[in-house]
Amino acid sequence: MKNLEQRNQIIEYSLKLNSTNLSPLRSGNISLRGIEDNTEGYLITPSGKKYETLKPEDIVFMGLNEEEEKNNSTNKPSSEWRFHRDIYVNKKDAKAIVHAHSPHATAVSSHGKPIPPFHYMIALAGGDNIKCAEYATFGTKELSKNVIKALENRYACLMSNHGQVAFGKNLEDAFELAQEIENICHQYTIALKLGQPKILSFEEMKKVLDKAKNYKKG
């Protein structure tokens, strides 16, 4: 089977969506950039299947120029295939994408506002705040357009009344960032219970962003 290693990796991290409570049951989706039959595209989780039942042949390959109905798999791709494709098209450094309906990120996203720099770890998303994409019906071109806008100069964003999405240089990197976003959202909801938190200055966040470039290098 083509791309067997990548397919198994997608299944591995799909199961982690459930085991880490990052995204319950069938919610969320995962993809990896790849090539099949000399076609540049991505492998993505199928629509409507429980992660615990996934097999390598269930993972769907889609070309970057393909529409849903043109893929040659027996399964339908995730209903959110469109913003996965558009992220790969617009973000050349995106090699893997994790979309999750994680509890705290989803709760914060329901307010439709960016998360301000109440904590310096905000910088892991790529900027001095975490943007929130405007709401649109799931699976639509409008939603994809809104996500791409919110990901401008960012590696992750919230999706209004929906959840979050993060990308990285590999699945481990993207999944870890999604976990970080969920943790930040959890901290933010706790902070708001005490009132409006102190916000770090633009100057301080600029320092943090410079240091964050080397954060994962140790």
Q: How many domains does the chain have?
A: 1
Catalytic pick among 80, 134, 142, 176: 80
Beta strands in 64-162 (DSSP E): 96-100, 132-133, 156-159
Least reliable range by pLDDT among 64-68, 126-130, 147-151, 156-160: 64-68
What does the CA dihedral 179, 180, 186, 191 come to, rounded to 10 degrees? Answer: 180
Lowest-confidence pick of 40-44, 74-78, 83-87, 178-182: 74-78
Domain that holds residue 97: 4-217
Is the pLDDT at 213 greater than 80? The verdict is: no
The reply to whether 67 belongs to the active site is no
Cβ neighbors of 133 (< 8 A, separation 6 or more) are: 143, 146, 147, 149, 150, 151, 157, 158, 159, 160
Question: Residue 140: which CATH number?
Answer: 3.40.225.10
* pLDDT tens by residue, 26-73: 789 999 999 998 899 999 999 988 899 999 999 999 999 866 545 556
Query: Residue 85, CB half-sphere, CA atoms under 13 Å: how many?
Result: 22
- Measure the CA–CA gap between 99 and 10, rounded to whole angstroms: 12
Please provide the distance, in angstroms rounded to a whole number, between the alpha carbons at the two ends of the chain. 37
What percentage of the chain exceeds 70 in pLDDT?
94
Q: How many CA atoms lie within 13 A of 27 on its CB side?
A: 17
Q: Is 50 exposed, middle or buried (0-12, 13-18, 19+ CB in 10 A)?
A: exposed
Q: For residue range 199-212, what is the model confidence (pLDDT) as tens digits? A: 999 999 999 998 87
